[in-house]
Amino acid sequence: MNVLVVGASRGSGAAAVQALLAAGHRVTALSRQGRVPLPPMPGLTVVAGDALRAADLDRVLPGHDAGVVTLGISEPAWRVRLRGPRHTPSDVRSRGTQCVVDAMQRHGVRRLVVQTSYGVGETRAHLPGLYRLMFALLLKPQIEDTERQEQVVRASGLDWVLVQPVNLTDRLVRAPAFASAAGEVRGMQVARGQVGRFLAQAVAVPDWVGRTVALSAPG
């Protein structure tokens, strides 16, 4: 498959690029800086572009079979809450995802896999009390934008998968993430590499289409 990864410059987006390539897919990695933290390798094309610009998406999307979206704000949460993000629009998740959805509809690309966050949408009621407090005090604007992002995906009419990891870590974990469409988790941490591997899997198999999948590290 030819897969476009939007938000590929770091974290689980870069991990998804690596996992997709390892699975034999061809990947176009779209990032504003035009670089990813991976060496050049067969099947990888890195493109500078902004998910909020329709022209950039129209330039790269034709010929792809699927899109993966891992948009987010990488700045410290406390600073974003107090001052707003410095380098990324505060609504990058919802507005960027809407732009990707619109482009996919224009170019007939059906499979869409979007990383959001555990504790929004279908899993809101499953969130532990301490995390609800953190969401309300520290992350409220970002969580509200993630809620809007999920609404965009659900209304898209595409073959979508919503992937909701719990707290992300940079640990190296070889075991696959525990995936649950019922909102179950095995703890409140999961490695970005585990998330990237699941995103790559969700692109290629029909099992999760039309479902919200919670990801956590297996106990």
> Of 197, 13, 218, 212, which Cα lies nearest the Cα of 119?
212
Q: What is the C-alpha to C-alpha distance for residues 37 and 77, in angstroms, rounded to an integer?
A: 23
The arithmetic mean of pLDDT across residues 145-150, rounded, is: 97
> pTM of the entire structure?
0.94
Higher pLDDT, 97 or 130: 97
44-56 pLDDT, tens digit each:
999 999 999 999 9
Q: What per-residue string of b and e applies to 91-119 under the rule 16 or more CB within 10 Å gives b? A: bbbbbbbbbbbebbeeeebebbbbbbbbb
Q: What is the C-alpha to C-alpha distance for residues 51 and 91, in angstroms, rounded to an integer?
A: 12
Main-chain phi, psi angles of 119, to 5 degrees: 105, 5
6-19 pLDDT, tens digit each:
999 889 999 999 99
pLDDT of 76 strictly over 80: no
165-219 pLDDT, tens digit each:
999 999 999 999 999 999 999 999 999 999 999 999 999 999 999 999 999 998 6
Q: What is the C-alpha to C-alpha distance for residues 98 and 36, in angstroms, rounded to an integer?
A: 23
pLDDT category, 137, cuts 50, 70, 90? confident
| Percentage above 90 pLDDT, the chain | 77
* Burial (CB count within 10 angstroms: exposed 0-12, middle 13-18, buried 19+), residue 206: exposed
Residue found under tokens 């390539």: 21
Query: What count of residues does the chain have?
Result: 219
Q: Provide the strand spans (E) within 36-182.
A: 44-48, 66-69, 111-115, 159-165, 167-169, 178-180
pLDDT of 69 strictly over 80: yes
Rounded to 5°, the CA angle 64-70-72 comes to 140
Instruction: Show the domains of the chain with their CATH numbers.
Output: 2-216 (3.40.50.720)
Q: Which of 80-89, 124-133, 199-208 shows the lowest per-residue confidence on average (mean pLDDT)?
A: 80-89
